[in-house]
Each structure stands twice: as C-alpha cells, then as structure tokens.
Structure 1
Amino acid sequence: MNIGKYVEEELMAFIPVYLNMKGNCTAIYTYKSGEIYIDKSLRSFLNCLGKYFLIDLKESRKHYGNLLNVNNLVPIPFNRENIFIPIKTRKPISRNDGALGYININYIDKIEEGLNGVNIFLKPNYKIKSLNTLKTVEKHINNGEIVRKFYDEREKGIYETIAFYDEYNKPATKGDIAILREELLKIKETLE
C-alpha cells in the first residue's frame, strides 16, 4: 500500500466501511482525489500511516492522553498538518470490528446536528456522518487543537535544543572557563 500517495494528496479522513463481497474496508478521503476505497481494515491503514510518519501510535496515545487526562479517543498527531481526531462512524457488526474513523482537524469546515448524529463537513465538499453527539464531536475537535499546541511546543523545544547545541558546540575560551569557575564558586558557597 502506498501511504505516501494518500498523504501527498492531502489526507482528510479515513473511516471504516463494509463493502459487498469484500467485508471490512477503509474509505479514504483526500483533498485532491476525493473518496477512495481500499481493501484494508482501518486498523491496518492506521498502522501503516504510523510507520510512514515514523511514530509509535501506542506511545503517542499514551503521551497525549496523559496531557489531556483522557484514556480513550485520543487525537493522533502525525505532524502539525496531520492531526486526526477519532469519531464514531458506524455500529460494529462483530466483536473485532472498529467503529471509529479519523478526521484531520485542518479540513473540518463545519459541523451540524443531524437526525441520527452529527454531520461533519470537510473542505471542499464532503460530508461524514458521525454517531457521536454534537457536544462529543466539539470536545474531540477541541482536544485536537490542544494536541496541536502541545505538539508545537514540543517541536519548538526540540529546535531550541538543537540551536543551543549549535551555538555552544564550540571550543571554550579562557574567559568561558573563568565565568564557569565563578559560577561554581558561588554554588559552593551557597551549599556550605
């Protein structure tokens, strides 16, 4: 499966679907190509996406779940432009069927309450029906935005650390050593 192709075509959402004569499959929505069906389960597609972006999905859920103080239904940030929120899109038929789809928060145009759930409208012109309540969908979107902020802060911290080491990865001068000696003496005095 060529995951890079779907990412390059701007992956907006992927949801589980049942197809006649094929069973449990995944509907993929991309900005450039529209709706595409693949013969892989959503879990398989999600794992391939994690490998493509070189992230451990289990650890990502654990990390961001702790930050959000939630155990389940944690948004998944693959990168800044690809933060996906979980949305219940169907009722499972059998025990191992997945009910959750994932939607990229960057492509959500609006949400409206429908007859039996919530309609999520994606840019440019797609609609995904959710079995969640409006309040739950709004909560998931807010959690996605919070995860984006945490992700940005984490990335900023990594780049600041790299910049710090680039700046200070130079030979020490006698003046640098003298300043360091003074600081160590001050610390020693406060400890005694």
Structure 2
Amino acid sequence: MSFVRVEDWRDQVIGLKPLYTDTGNATQIINASGDTGLDRRVITTVQAALARAFAVDLKAQHDHIRAILKRKSLLPFYLPGPRVFIPLKMRQAIAVNDSTYGYIDVSFIDKVVRDEEKNTCIVELTTGQKVEVLSNRTTIISSQHLGQELLAYLQPPGNVSGEDEIIKSVTIILSYFNRIQDQLTRIERRL
C-alpha cells in the first residue's frame, strides 16, 4: 500500500478506514478505481482535510445533518456531488480516545454479508473491494438507510414530466375512490 494524502485523491475517495501501523494511527483511503492508499494521519484529521479540500465546514454541516435526520450521534457527512459517507465501526480501540469508526460512501455499498467465523460483517463495495466492519448487520443497514435518506434530501428535485404528474394524480384519485367504495361496502353490510 502506497502513502498518499487524502487531498490528492479528493474526487475519488469512497472510504476512510482507521488503521494501526508500526508508526501509530493512520487512515486507509479507498478510492473509486479500486486502489487503496495509506494516509499517515489519524482519521479525524484526514476527514477534516478532505472536507477542507471542498471548503466544507464539518461543524456547521454536523448541525445541519442533525436537524435533517433528527439524530444526535454517529452522523454521516457529505461532500459536493452529493457524496454521503456513513460511519461504520471498523476496529477495536486499543487506547482511550482511539477512533474506531471509518466512513464509506453509501452509493458504493453493494451488499452486507455476515461473517459467522469472525462474528463481524463484510461490506462489499461496487468496486469489488471488501471492508470488514465490526458493527452488526442491523446497525450497518440502519446507518446505510440514514445515508440514503440524507442523499435523497441532498438530491436536487428532478424534472417531473406532465405524464408523471397525471399518473400521480390518477393514483391518488383511485385510492380515494377505493376508500369510498370500502366504506360503502361496510355500510351496506351493517344495513
């Protein structure tokens, strides 16, 4: 694995994973082309550097995401694009204040597989890479759902054609008439 700086791969980053190395804490960077590199900085510094490369204020963004998702802890973060990175537990802490959570771009998650032998999960990415995650499958799916919810919020509203609007209106009207029909049927049964 080569040494890189997250700023050099800023447009290709799809994952950040905290690692222990011979020299201490470092961060493995996973990019969209399937390559990995090692940034010698701790994950919080790498995350801040990546956000800084896009002129993103993580503190302000954290407050904004908290209001959108109505949650307080373990929130995803996003970059322009939009690219939403969800937090996943990727290692056990060895010392106090060790970062145990890494981040994966929710758009690149293909599937989550339970590894019964190690009692962990494997997150398979669309690039073919696999990332071991210590969280249980339910927690990963929940975090993925939050990330997709944030991604949907960040997507600009699409151009809805007239036909789509008509179909949506007809569906609503049919639903309304079905409810009326059900109510009339219940009334007839009582009489």
Taking structure 2 as the reference length, what is the TM-score of the superposition?
0.74
Contact 2:109 2:126 in 1 (8 A): yes
Q: CA deviation at 1:50?
A: 1.3
Instruction: Find runs of 4+ consecutive structure 1 residues off by over 4 angstroms.
Output: none
**Is the aligned partner of 1:18 residue 2:34?**
no
Distance 2:6 2:32 in 1: 15
CA deviations over 1:88-108 (Å, ceiling 9, x no partner): 001111112100000011211
Give the aligned length: 152
Matches within 5 A, 1:115-130: 115=116, 116-130=119-133
- Listed one character per residue, the Cα deviations across residues 50-87 of structure 1 (whole Å, up to 9, x for unaligned) are 11111111121121122212111111111234210000
- Structure 2, unmatched stretches of 5+, are 158-191
Residue aligning to 1:58: 59
Q: Distance in 1 between matches of 2:72 and 2:48?
A: 19
What's the CA shift string for 1:124-164, capped at 9, x where partnerless? 221111111111101111111111122225xx6xxxxxxxx
Residue 70 (str. 1) matches residue 71 (str. 2)? yes
Identity between Structure 1 and Structure 2 (%)? 23
Give the Cα separation in 1 of the matches to 2:95 and 2:67: 30
Where does structure 1 lack aligned partners over 5 or more consecutive residues?
157-192
Asked whether 1:137 is paired with 2:140, we answer: yes
- Asked whether the equivalents of residues 80 and 148 of structure 1 are also in contact (C-alpha less than 8 Å), the reply is no
Q: Give 2:100's aligned residue.
A: 99
CA RMSD of aligned residues (A): 1.6
In 2: Cα distance, 1:119 partner to 1:47 partner: 26
Q: CA deviation at 1:3?
A: 3.6
Task: Flag the 1:113–1:65 CA change in 2: closer, same or farther, 3 A.
Answer: same
Contact kept in structure 2, 1:84 and 1:103, CA below 8 Å: yes
Alignment of 1:130-169 (within 5 A): 130-153=133-156
